[in-house]
Amino acid sequence: MAQDDAASPSVRCFNAALEFLGINRAADGWFLQVETFDPHEPFQAPRRFREAYPTNYSGPILDWPPYARVTEAPDECAELRANYCAVLALCDAQLGRLLDAFDAHDLWRDTALIVTTDHGYLLGEHDWWAKNRMHCYEEIAHIPLFVHHPSTPAAAGGRRRALTQTIDLMPTFLELFGV
């Protein structure tokens, strides 16, 4: 478990992104991709995030579920899920910092923002941990995709039922830049 936020790779990544925005927010034609890798194994988050998810588990650190069927005792399962939730809470806090920067500098009026991930993760659903070894369950395949574009303010808060794929992202980015 990381002891403080500054030691977290995700925090360091978002710090660099916010520094980039601080320098370039008034410029035109820039592209920033923030790739944090989290939430991912090992499920390690600063203590302040982990403390929000208490369990009855006592034993060695459990921060990396096997890519296999669930065979762990209920307290071990709860500990693995709690460690995942702590990392997810860390990710939410970092995304919140980015959204706050968008608010503070009114980036919404001239900056596109796309938030997504590459896959989901099983935390015991369907009696499986992780990904890749089991069927492509909804929890793995149905991933978030949030898109803000300043030219479509009426679409804010809207939902689409259309099928999208991560392979569509690169052409979308190129189209945003007229390429």
Say how far apart CA 147 and CA 26 lie, in whole Å: 21
What was the pLDDT predicted at 153?
86
In DSSP terms, 129 is beta-bridged to 123
Q: What 8-state DSSP symbol labels residue 109?
A: G
What was the pLDDT predicted at 57?
98
- State the first-to-last Cα distance of the chain, in angstroms, to the nearest integer: 44
Instruction: Write down the residue that tokens 């096997």 correspond to.
Output: 66
- What is the b/e burial string over 103-121, where b = at least 16 CB atoms within 10 angstroms of the residue's CB? eeeebbeebbeeeeeeebb
Residue 82 clears pLDDT 90, i.e. is over it:
yes
The CB density around residue 98, as the number of other CB atoms within 10 Å, is: 18
Contact yes or no for 87/38 (Cβ under 8 A): yes
Residue 22 clears pLDDT 90, i.e. is over it:
yes
Please choose, from the candidates 64, 51, 138, the residue with its C-alpha nearest in 3D space to the C-alpha of residue 72: 64
Question: Over the stretch 88-113, which tens digit does the pLDDT of each residue have?
Answer: 999 999 999 999 999 999 999 999 99
Mean pLDDT taken over the chain: 93
Please compute, for residue 3, the number of CA atoms within 13 A of its CA located in the half-sphere on the CB side: 0
Confidence band of 156 (pLDDT split at 50, 70, 90): confident
Residue 160 clears pLDDT 90, i.e. is over it:
no
> Residues of the chain with pLDDT > 90: what percent?
78
> Residues of the chain with pLDDT > 70: what percent?
98
Mean pLDDT of 21-33: 93
What was the pLDDT predicted at 1?
53
Q: What 8-state DSSP symbol labels residue 174?
A: H
What was the pLDDT predicted at 2?
52
What was the pLDDT predicted at 5?
84
Question: Over the stretch 48-77, which tens digit does the pLDDT of each residue have?
Answer: 999 999 999 999 999 999 999 999 999 999
